Structure 1
Amino acid sequence: MADPVKPIRSTPIERLAALIETLRGENGCPWDKKQTPDTMAVYLIEEVYELVEAIISKNADAVCEEAGDVLFQLLFVVNLFRESGDFGLEDVIEKNIAKMTRRHPHVFGDASADTPEKVSQNWEKIKRLERGGAGRHSVLGSIPRNLPALLKAAMVSERAAKTGFDWDDLSGVMDKAMEEWMEFSKEVNTAEGAAGSDKAALEFGDIMFTMVNVARFARIHPEIALIRSIQKFEKRFNYLEERAKESGRNLDSLSVQEMHVLWDEAKVEFG
């Protein structure tokens, strides 16, 4: 039988940390005792995406639950490093407090920043100073390599734009998007540029990257926007499946015209 969670810890965070220690303890769970930072990193990523989806869905109960799962995974990772003698939860918190204080000199110091844009500019300058000066590190160097492509594109374009390497306005980047679309159309409509070719794929990638910049100028996060569109499509498609099921048929037995009728109904139902 597992040891009970230590009752002397009073705060919820302390109780959760104690629960993790119990799971990892001598009489704990075989699965939890087997985990490493590498294995937990995968689960943490999965839980973060579930939290993001809950936030976008505006489901407060789901957000509460998924936030708890993320916190559990994060504290689990910290506990693994504490076990190896590297650092503990207190170290994580104190280091973050120091960094956040240092990066908000307009709040905790004498600096001035009266707009979100100015705050962002100061933040990047402070980060460069922390890393030893602007000349020693690439602006893009700290972006994680294994981010999903759309999210990484957003981060790359935002970092590059902060150096001044950017379009003048939204219309300029939209013109560029149209130019990229024309180049892609030309490529896929030539004999040598048949769909699936490397060059066609590259041109399509250029469209997507430029559209990420369009989203940035429009103050839309492309990852969030795409998730919302996927959720909307899923609701409408599920409606098609349910209506087909109600009529005693499979979705693939419906004609294209019947599907379009149901799709229009789904658009009215779900927007």
Structure 2
Amino acid sequence: MRYSIHDFVQLIARLRDPVNGCPWDIKQNYTSMIACLKEETYEVIEAIEQHNTENLKEELGDLLLQVVFLSQLATEDHHFTFDEVVQAVAEKIVRRHPHVFGNTQANNEEEALQNWNAMKALEHQHQGHTSLLDNIPHAFPALMRAEKLQKRCSKVGFDWTDVSPVFAKVEEELQEVKQEIARSPQDPAKIEEEIGDLFFATVNLSRHLKCSAEESLRKANQKFEQRFRRVEAKLGAQNRTLAEASLEEMDRLWDDVKREEKHR
């Protein structure tokens, strides 16, 4: 059987039927679906990064399921329907691309982005935002939100014009962490605050160097994981476990792994 998007919306509605639906689906609400939404989003990202188009097709379907399911909850609560979600985003796409659907010109990517941002700014005015930062979601990952805050402020000139003072700020915040540890070793709240300032300054450095802080850290995590797994494999080849190895031995194996990477 070939299913259309209309058929799919009806399938989800049937899952939510209070009499004949699925007990698990009936029990869900907006909040309980957040974890599923996050998980499916990250699985889409992983499929893209792995260049696995077959897996991407499946994961996009799972992500679509979240959108339709949440729309079904809203339909039941008489807020909006899935059709209205589609209508709203279609109108937004048309509105924010006047160089495609209107009379405005965009001769390159930069001009197209300027048109998008100009229309977005008008929308924010109509929505009654009182601050430049009003619509940056607090649910973003912390590194991503820091970058968004900084970029938004940069658009109105609240930013350094070169990277030198950014380096100085990172060094300043690192020193403040050290000072706070020496001054208040038993006050984790103050130390945490200084660590947060250091992270924020580091995100700013990443942004000035045209790197995504979120992506940079994700890649660093991946590199660490790959190296540590190879340390485990080297110990396994010796019929030994991590618990049987000293820190010095693991450090030596770690250095071996790094040297092997350089000679590839």
Confirm or deny: 8 A CA contact 1:79 1:89 kept in the other structure: yes
1:51: how far off?
2.4
Q: Equivalent of 1:203, from 172, 194, 205?
A: 194
- Correspondence for 1:235: 226
Give matches, 1:1-271, under 5 Å. Answer: 10-11=3-4, 13-25=5-17, 26-132=19-125, 136-188=129-181, 190=182, 192-194=183-185, 197-267=188-258, 268=260
Letter in 2 for 1:52: I
1:251: how far off?
0.3
Confirm or deny: 8 A CA contact 1:56 1:228 kept in the other structure: no
Change (3 A) 1:86 1:136: closer
Q: Distance in 1 between matches of 2:187 and 2:212?
A: 28
Q: Distance in 2 between matches of 1:133 and 1:165?
A: 24
Deviations 1:53-92 (A, max 9, x none): 3434444444333222111111111122223333222211
Deviations 1:86-123 (A, max 9, x none): 32222111111111111112222233444544444443
Letter in 2 for 1:248: N
1:226: how far off?
1.0
Q: Distance in 2 between matches of 1:212 and 1:263?
A: 27
Confirm or deny: 8 A CA contact 1:131 1:137 kept in the other structure: no
Confirm or deny: 8 A CA contact 1:56 1:224 kept in the other structure: no
Q: Distance in 2 between matches of 1:144 and 1:154?
A: 12
Confirm or deny: 8 A CA contact 2:40 2:62 kept in the other structure: yes
- Correspondence for 1:4: none
Change (3 A) 1:118 1:175: farther
Q: Structure 1 vs Structure 2: percent identity of aligned residues?
A: 39
1:209: how far off?
0.7
Letter in 1 for 2:91: A
Letter in 2 for 1:50: E
Unaligned segments of structure 2, at least 5 residues:
none
Change (3 A) 1:259 1:80: same
Q: Distance in 2 between matches of 1:60 and 1:260?
A: 38
Aligned-residue CA RMSD (Å): 2.8
Letter in 1 for 2:79: D
Q: Distance in 1 between matches of 2:223 and 2:73?
A: 39
1:149: how far off?
1.6
Change (3 A) 1:209 1:35: same
1:44: how far off?
0.9
Unaligned segments of structure 1, at least 5 residues:
1-6
